[in-house]
Chains A and B, each alone.
Chain A
Amino acid sequence: MDQHTVMLFAGIGGLLVLASLVGFVLKWRAGPDSNAVIDNLNARINAWWVMVAVIGSAFLLGQTAVILLFYGVSFYALREFITLTPTRHSDYPALVAAFYAVLPVQYLLIAFNWYGMFSIFIPVYVFLLLPTLASLGGDTTRFLERASKVQWGLMLAVFCISFVPALMTLDIPGFEGRHLLLIAYLVIVVQLSDVLQYVCGKLFGKRKIAPNLSPSKTVEGFVGGLALATLIGAALWWITPFTPWQAGLIALLINLLGFFGGLVMSAIKRDRGVKDWGHMIEGHGGMLDRLDSVCFAAPIFFHVVRYWWVR
């Protein structure tokens, strides 16, 4: 592990120690009565420790471990998505293909570094294959809706998320051997944007941005969180191939995309009548609740870097 990675994780560790201290003091000041917001905050901080430890271990183990980690992430996300979007008996072949063929093949294509295929496999080949499988079942009830659900699940949970490990396939002059830092940059900036929007919203939030979609998103949280996370993104330029200005602009772009991701995923959740995608991450909800922003940011971040920085 190079010096920058060590410094980065030391910084994250310090941040988490600080967050845990703040959580502890808040809990202590609130006294013996339990306060739902503070308990949720502490649950979220504890879950962050676990998530950072998991990502850190994968980084230590190397590229294959990182690909396997995101394979797992995609699996849990796809499972949450399909669980919440009902399908019918005759969608079984399409769902078997999604879980047991499309998901592993997408990650194999990334492991084999086959850009020409992994970037179109799900949007083109799978897009045409899945409705074919569904139509062979002969059930036309809500056909378009059902086909879209499986395709959307794969696009969000597998295609979009797989662009995080796909960053390791980019050949950037002068940045050899440091690809994991690019993944760290994307995940840190987008997740910090989520956290800071949450914190700014809790502290200063008044005007709701989209009351029908998400009661917790406010103008104050959005502006404050986005601005702070963009500054942090600029300040982290030393772990990227970007200059400070470029790093700031890219951070702004991925933070905006992350915000859009949160909005769209909230709209789907509201439509399905649930608050969270799942329950696997204490305090956060499901895998997709934590990754909605990364889903939207990852493919665009990948293509921006590929277009301007790859020779």
Chain B
Amino acid sequence: MLETLVAYSVIAGARAVTGMRSLWLGTTPIARQRIYYANHASHGDFVLLWASLPPALRKHARPVAGADYWGKGTLRRFLIDKVFKGVLIDRQRTDPSRNPLEPMFEALSAGDSLILFPEGTRNLDDEVKLLPFKSGIYHLSKAHPQVELVPVWIDNLKRVMPKGKVLPLPLLCTVSFGAPLTVGEDESKEAFLDRLSQALLELAPKEEI
């Protein structure tokens, strides 16, 4: 009850501040198991992507988030566990015996979709559009080759919530969904990651300053 109320307030807030326009350019919003992977420049990224999915898809789309941040405190725990139903991962590898990808494998085996930022961290550089991808997404795709990977370009959110600023600017944001990809049977890790990041960059607007 409370989590539903909070979820709808978050969605309404995201819509009011950003206009939240989603463009399904390369695919349609169908209820199929998918990995949505997106560019990462702002803390609000996963919220905006999650909120812009239609309700039926949103219910099964779980954002992947860092346990170092979201695992602390009652409020954060409530938001990530109950509202976003996130998948927490150990980015620092505090326990070297555990595979940090494990929670994501479990979510995929349970039939859930994932919202993932393969850059691994926020890209704070105005001059670079996309950081090199971490290899986790390749291993996920190899283990679940039937799950489609949908590139999602989140545009303008970096300007709405710049790093270290509290007050958001009410600028319009666009979330563009591209054509889904799957890993080739004997595709190398480097070739696959390159293909993923090219597909994502194609959704980005052409010029920026």
A contact residues vs B (CB 8 Å cutoff): 75, 79-80, 82-83, 86-89, 92, 95-96, 99-100, 141-142, 145-146, 273, 278-280
Alpha-carbon separation in the docked complex, A83 to B172 (Å): 6
The contact of B156 among A83, A89, A92, A99, by CB within 8 Å, is: A83
Q: Is the interface of B mostly helix, strand, loop or mixed?
A: loop
Is B136 on the interface with A (CB-CB < 8 A)? no
Contact B167 A82 (CB under 8 A): no
Q: Which residues from B are CB-within-8-Å of A82?
A: 169, 171
- Distance (Å) between the CB of A216 and the closest chain B CB? 24
Q: Which residues from B are CB-within-8-Å of A99?
A: 169-170
Q: A96-B167, A100-B167 are in contact. Are A278 and B126 (CB under 8 A)?
A: no
Q: A88-B126, A92-B165 are in contact. Are A80 and B172 (CB under 8 A)?
A: yes
Q: Which residues from A are CB-within-8-Å of B180?
A: none
Could you jot down 21 A-B contacts, CB within 8 Å? A79-B19, A80-B172, A82-B169, A82-B171, A83-B156, A83-B172, A86-B159, A86-B208, A88-B126, A88-B209, A89-B163, A95-B159, A95-B169, A99-B170, A100-B167, A141-B209, A142-B209, A145-B209, A146-B209, A279-B21, A280-B19
- Distance (Å) between the CB of A70 and the closest chain B CB? 17
Is B162 on the interface with A (CB-CB < 8 A)? yes
Q: Which residues from A are CB-within-8-Å of B169?
A: 82, 92, 95-96, 99
Q: A96-B167, A141-B209, A279-B21 are in contact. Are A89 and B172 (CB under 8 A)?
A: no
Q: Which residues from A are CB-within-8-Å of B171?
A: 79, 82-83
- Distance (Å) between the CB of B18 and the closest chain A CB? 10
Is B72 on the interface with A (CB-CB < 8 A)? no
- Distance (Å) between the CB of A138 and the closest chain B CB? 14
- Size bracket, chain B contacts: 10 to 19
Q: Is the interface of A mostly helix, strand, loop or mixed?
A: helix
Contact B209 A86 (CB under 8 A): yes
Alpha-carbon separation in the docked complex, A278 to B173 (Å): 11
Q: Which residues from B are CB-within-8-Å of A146?
A: 209
The contact of B172 among A96, A100, A278, by CB within 8 Å, is: A278
Q: Which residues from A are CB-within-8-Å of B167?
A: 96, 100
Q: Which residues from A are CB-within-8-Å of B93?
A: none
Q: Which residues from A are CB-within-8-Å of B206?
A: 273
Contact A89 B209 (CB under 8 A): no
Closest to A85 in B: B209
Alpha-carbon separation in the docked complex, A89 to B123 (Å): 13
Contact B162 A89 (CB under 8 A): yes
The contact of A92 among B21, B162, B172, B208, by CB within 8 Å, is: B162
Q: A99-B169, A99-B170 are in contact. Are A87 and B159 (CB under 8 A)?
A: yes
- Distance (Å) between the CB of A82 and the closest chain B CB? 6
- Distance (Å) between the CB of A65 and the closest chain B CB? 21
Alpha-carbon separation in the docked complex, A146 to B126 (Å): 14
